[in-house]
């Protein structure tokens, strides 16, 4: 059993109004020096496969077909072996 | 300048209908062996502070006061020094 930890982020060239809103809210809290807030998605899932390569391939497919919009988003993931 | 990479996840005891929906969609795609999908948020932000401890404290405050709901969510973050 493997655990995939997936981060889906907006591409640099895409505006992020949600991030901007959070940035303003942080300013209103009085916290200084925080900027360039970018919001993304974080997904964890378990993959039951015989080896890490198979788990990696399955995760790759899930990301490509379902979790990330390839026009606007990038994804990165790590695979962890569960005991 | 530091980069904070923050993951906000739902607590284990909280039901995650969005994760369940994604799980079903993965099944419909014909991908086998994927389960326990949990959806969360991923946030990146830059902190301009004099050392890593200060950056860590600022990030901690942003998470506590703004990004995570302490009743339902946990957060984890890493700090990276930018060149």
Question: Average pLDDT of chain A?
Answer: 95
* SS3 state at A59: helix
| A79 touching B (Cβ < 8 Å) | no
Q: Token pair of A19, please? A: 């991030």
CB contact under 8 A, A45 and B66: no
Q: Report the C-alpha gap between A69 and B3 in whole angstroms.
A: 24
pLDDT bracket for residue A67 (50, 70, 90): very high
- How much is the pLDDT for A64? 95
Counting every residue written for chain B, the total comes to: 83
Can you tell me the ipTM of this complex? 0.91
pLDDT level of residue B68 (50, 70, 90 thresholds):
very high
Verify whether the Cβ–Cβ distance A42 to B66 is below 8 Å: no
Task: Please report which confidence band the pLDDT of residue A44 belongs to, taking 50, 70 and 90 as the band edges.
Answer: very high
Burial of A48 (0-12, 13-18, 19+ CB in 10 A): middle
The answer to whether B43 touches A22, Cβ cutoff 8 Å, is: yes
Confidence (pLDDT) at A16: 96
B positions 48-77 inside 8 Å of A (CB):
48-49, 58, 61-62, 65-67
Q: Which residues of B touch A46 (CB under 8 A)?
A: 34-36
Assign B3 a pLDDT band (cuts: 50, 70, 90).
Answer: very high
Residue ranges with strand state E in A1-83? 2-10, 34-47, 73-81
CB A76 within 8 A of CB A42: no
**CA–CA gap between residue B81 and residue B83 (Å, rounded):** 7
User: Class of B2-81 per CATH?
Assistant: alpha beta
């Amino acid at each position: 059993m493997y655990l995939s930890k997936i981060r889906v982020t907006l591409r640099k060239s895409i505006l992020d109004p949600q991030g901007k809103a959070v940035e303003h809210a942080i300013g209103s809290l009085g916290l200084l020096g925080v900027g360039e807030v970018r919001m993304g998605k974080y997904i964890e899932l378990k993959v039951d496969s015989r080896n890490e390569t198979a788990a990696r391939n399955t995760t790759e497919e899930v990301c490509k077909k379902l979790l990330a919009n390839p026009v606007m988003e990038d994804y990165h993931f790590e695979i962890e072996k569960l005991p």
